[in-house]
Amino acid sequence: MKIDLDEFGIDPDFCCYCTNGVGWRDRYTLPWCEEHKHRGELLNWGVLHRWPDLQCCPYAIGADEYCWYVAVVAGMDELIWMALSAIEHMESVA
């Protein structure tokens, strides 16, 4: 998968969440700095698991690509960290 960064107004040389330089790219090739890399890692997990409904009280991510993308790009850090913790927990008990 690859997103046309120009189409969405994303500068490929800067993190798509802040103005820091790029340190890593996710499966969409979205640029992330080291401070916000966890957002891209969450998006990658969503891609690999076909966008499941993820409940991590008091937050949730709906079961489709758009919900995951919006959560990762616009969600609060608390949502991102809770979702990553929920995923880690699910994988540890599976």
**47 falls within a domain:** yes
**2 falls within a domain:** no
**60 falls within a domain:** yes
**Structural domain span for residue 51:** 24-93
Q: What is the pTM of this model?
A: 0.88
Please state whether the peptide bond connecting residue 12 to the residue before it is cis, i.e. omega within 30 degrees of 0.
no
**83 falls within a domain:** yes
Considering its fold, how many domains does the chain have in total?
1
**7 falls within a domain:** no
Q: Tens-digit pLDDT profile for the chain (94 aa)?
A: 677 778 878 888 999 899 999 999 999 889 999 999 999 999 999 999 999 999 999 999 999 999 999 999 899 999 999 999 999 999 999 7
Return the HEC string of 22-45: CCEECCCCCEECHHHHHHHHHHHH
